[in-house]
Amino acid sequence: MRARLSYSAHSRWHGFVPPPSLRWDHWRITFATAMALLPVSTVYLVEAPIYHVAGLLLALAVCFAWHALFAFSRKQAMQWQWIITALTFYLLAADGLSLWQQSIALSLGVVFADLIFGGLGRTFLNPTVVALAFAIYSFPNTLTAPQGVFFALAAVAGGVLLLYCRIASWRVLTGFSAGCLLGLVAIGRTDFILVQPLGVVVFAAVFLVADPVAAASTPTGRWAYGLFVGIITALLLSAGGEKQVQAIVFATLLGSVFAPLIDQVVCRLLARRRRWRG
């Protein structure tokens, strides 16, 4: 009994290190995220025209080619998060960009926001967000994400799976929701919530805003990051009208840039509070 209690206390206060077979490596994280994207992709492919399949195949081919090239040049094993990048980019950019525009934007996002830094876990930006931001700035198109009740429900199902696997942070999602509401209340546009397609907002919140690599990593920092991105999203949505994808993309990009600073401020405040207690 004494040994069991000491083991329980050590696990609670010092952190329990699971065996290698139970650890969340990049393979399991990629697989779980792909499973979360599966219902959303299925709903979109069922409702989308048949020629959109070419866009999905192109996105997968572009991401695979760049990851294979960098893995070969560095003599490293290839990571598989390129599947997530291809799917999220395809779902948000298939309707507004031609195939050659998708190739250029996706190449820039994958190379400059992911592979140059060394891959998953070493970058601070989401490659899909960078690719979409480049596409919005470079090509005069309005990105329109899929709408509908089934798409929104599929995005919710994917978010529940990511929350269950603890890949997405509930603090980020809650802070994002509160930030959107606070931003709309501050500018007096609470009625604006009723005219917004929730499917786009839910999908972007789950797979872009709550990305564990691009979001803040401290518990308090996740609240601040979610609030910040939510407020900026509300302000951009009220100013941009029907440009929901553009608003969330730029808000997420800005939040990801400030996420390391938010974590740094939180860590300094915690260290100062501990010194005061001492």
Helix (H), strand (E) at residue 104: helix 99-110
**Domains in the chain, number:** 1
Instruction: Specify if 18 maps to a domain.
Output: no
Residue pLDDT tens, the chain, 278 long: 333 333 333 333 334 344 444 466 778 888 999 999 999 998 888 877 777 788 899 999 999 999 999 999 988 888 889 999 999 999 988 777 888 999 999 999 999 999 998 777 788 899 999 999 999 888 876 676 667 788 889 999 999 999 999 999 999 999 999 998 898 888 777 666 655 567 788 899 999 999 998 999 999 999 999 999 999 998 888 776 567 788 899 999 999 999 999 999 999 998 888 888 87
Residue 268 is assigned to a structural domain of this protein: yes
Cβ neighbours of residue 231 closer than 8 Å, sequence gap 6 or more: 179, 180, 182, 183, 186
Contact partners, residue 133, CB within 8 Å, separation at least 6: 249, 250, 253
Domain for residue 95, yes or no? yes
pLDDT at 50: 75
pLDDT at 36: 95
Provide the residue range defining the domain that includes 146: 29-277
The Cα 55–Cα 64 span in angstroms is: 14
207 inside domain: yes
* CA atoms in the 13 A half-sphere facing the CB of 203: 34
DSSP secondary structure code for residue 173 in this structure: H
In this structure, is residue 251 part of a structural domain?
yes
Query: Within a domain: residue 24?
Result: no
Is there a domain that residue 263 lies in? yes
Q: Is residue 106 part of a domain?
A: yes
